[in-house]
Amino acid sequence: MATDYAQFHQRSIAERDAFWAEQAKGIEWQRAPQQICDYSNPPFARWFVGGQTNLCHNAVDRHARERPGENALIWVSTEVGEERIYSFAQLQAEVECMAAMLREQGVTQGDRVLIYMPMIPEAAFAMLACARIGAIHSVVFGGFASGSLASRIDDAEPVLIVSADAGSRGGKVIPYKPLLDEALRLSRHQPRRVLLVDRGLAAMDKVAERDLDYAELRRRHAGARLPCVWLDATAPSYTLYTSGTTGKPKGVQRDTGGYAVALAASMQHIFGGRAGETFFSTSDIGWVVGHSYIVYGPLIAGMATIMYEGLPTRPDAGIWWQLVERFKVSLMFSAPTAVRVLKKQDPAYLSKYDLSSLRALFLAGEPLDEPTARWIADALGVPIVDNYWQTETGWPILSLANHLPGVAPRASKFGSPGMAMYGYQVKLLDENSGEELAEPNRKGVLAIEGPLPPGCLQTVWRDDARFVSTYWSSIPGRQVYSTFDWGLRDADGYYFILGRTDDVINVAGHRLGTREIEESIAGHPNVAEVAVVGVADALKGQVALAFAVLKDPSQAATPELALRQEGEIMKVVDQQLGALARPARVRFVGVLPKTRSGKLLRRAIQAVAEGRDPGDLTTIEDPAALQQIRELLAG
């Protein structure tokens, strides 16, 4: 047994097959794998070849057999004031019923089912039902507008779409059916059927012979028993679309066996989850965190999972902590942006509830700045574990695996998402020469040597060439997977992410990462949030422009006060990074433009600042935020 994490990680690389054969014991197989990893055609990796298993069996059926009455899915909606709790036995019944509906509509193994749903239990039922019968689900975030949805329909070519009348956000009803109808009008591909959940939130015009009522079918198939289809480990389980450098979204294709093993191992080694406990991820099923750590991961671990529809501040900023107390949440997963939102609220909400059940808060989705990390760590009194990964990888690339028997835990370092996780052979490479930067504190492109570990993307859906050209061909002379992120590694092996390789600012021939400047500005005591973008400049090529949300806006309420506040922030950057990194201007805004999942729209900000079209804004949370930036710059 390894005595420290470095040995554990090294074994996962040097004795790859033996290591992953051990991890494969964390799930149930119908047929054991005959070969652990087939890497005969790099960069395509095939994991657990010859093995047969099923994601739904591992997430639902085996626990319904062992702990039928324990909580499995806890749905809470502060939008509509409802909640439902399903035991593992009840969840299995709902999933089998949904699977029978799909089968009745002709959905078979390998068919695609597109899921365009709000955060309601039926969305999870649909995902698990697809996994049960071997259909490939493709969940599209409910906030996408018709054009974006149409492009995904055309790429996935689903035989059936599952949707709903509406979602709700901030108390405002968002009708889905008109968006779906318009998307289908724009699409070349037409599904055979559309299955609709009617929540009674918005009127729906149904298309005869195509649109089906979920409630009616559920009554017809109540009590249906439909066994899991045993699938080859290498069979696709789902596709999930992510943006690329071209207008066409990339369908990240995930396998079945490798994903199940990777999630089981991560729940054990990284998160420290235990069967019978409760896991609360505040993400959305439309994103990869929702797939891995709302639906599949916690259920595979035998944990109850909370599916929350609502905002972190409604009805008040204590709602998440109320849920932690009520359901005795052990582990929580959120995003730095959400924490920064809560940072602006009354701190009394954090001491109002009994949070003694909570062992750790995990944060991912964007870099976690040190001031935010320290604030939430002090407020909660539990470890704050940053982790870094991508839609493509499905589980963390960098984090802390602090739940290994016989291996001493490692402490977090604020500002760092941690170390390379087992199975990932992470390198920092020179973007021009491909040279490995082995010495500490050298900035390079974060890359991963093949094969990617289990759970990562197999390929881009129906586009192997794009998989190779996009991810494996950008570093000169090397076939390595590029994350397209800058990073550095300190002498202790902790990595620090410095921003996207395509978000670099070139100021008078000097390359600056926007992430570094943001980290510096966020250290100012009156800054709640900040976004830094590079803006074209006739003299210097580019200059940095910062947009900040203040904790106390009154300190910039007049032009004179704003100039004084700007000067103070400039001094902070000067002191931490030097005058070269000083932004040309710091502008103060009430809110930063973000997607509904909480990611900053830096490229849209940059486009507006340069007078360009910001492009597709279908996922923007508050369109007025960009308009405010336009008006500020015009003034």
Q: Where are the domains of the chain?
A: 508-634
Q: What gap in Å lies between CA 201 and CA 352, rounded to an integer? A: 33
Tell me how far apart the 2 most distant CA atoms of the chain are, in Å: 72
**Encoded amino acid at 525, one letter:** P
Query: What are 477's two structure tokens?
Result: 């002379």
**From residue 544, how far is each of 53, 157, 517, 520 by CA, in Å?**
51, 43, 9, 13
Give the DSSP letter of residue 301: T
Q: At 35, is the secondary structure helix, strand, or coil?
A: strand
Question: What was the pLDDT predicted at 584?
Answer: 92
Query: What are 546's two structure tokens?
Result: 């910062």
Question: What was the pLDDT predicted at 633?
Answer: 83
Q: What gap in Å lies between CA 188 and CA 390, rounded to an integer? A: 30
**From residue 276, how far is each of 68, 89, 304, 315, 357 by CA, in Å?**
11, 14, 7, 29, 13
Question: What was the pLDDT predicted at 509?
Answer: 43
Q: What gap in Å lies between CA 293 and CA 422, rounded to an integer? A: 18
Query: Per-block average pLDDT, block size 10, for the chain (635 residues)?
Result: 84 98 98 98 98 98 98 98 98 98 98 98 98 97 81 96 96 94 95 98 95 98 97 98 69 98 98 98 94 98 98 95 98 90 90 96 86 92 95 96 91 93 97 94 96 98 96 95 94 88 59 75 92 78 88 92 93 75 90 82 85 75 81 80
> What's domain 508-634's architecture?
2-Layer Sandwich (3.30)
pLDDT, tens digit, 9 for 90 and up, residues 376-411: 999 999 999 999 999 999 999 999 999 998 898 999
**From residue 620, how far is each of 391, 504, 515, 536 by CA, in Å?**
19, 23, 21, 24
Buried/exposed code over 330-344 (b: 16+ C-beta within 10 A; e: otherwise): bbbbbbbbbbbbbbe
Within its chain, how far is the Cα of 124 from the centroid? 16
**From residue 345, how far is each of 318, 349, 369, 444 by CA, in Å?**
9, 8, 18, 37
pLDDT, tens digit, 9 for 90 and up, residues 66-107: 999 999 999 999 999 999 999 999 999 999 999 999 999 999
The answer to whether the beta carbons of residues 502 and 470 sit under 8 Å apart is no
**From residue 62, how far is each of 59, 75, 212, 401 by CA, in Å?**
7, 21, 31, 26
Query: What are 64's two structure tokens?
Result: 């319904």
Contacts of residues 295-298 at CB distance under 8 Å and 24 or more positions apart, as own/partner, are 295/59, 295/124, 295/127, 295/128, 296/55, 296/59, 296/259, 296/260, 296/263, 297/263, 297/266, 297/267, 297/271, 297/273, 297/395, 298/267, 298/273
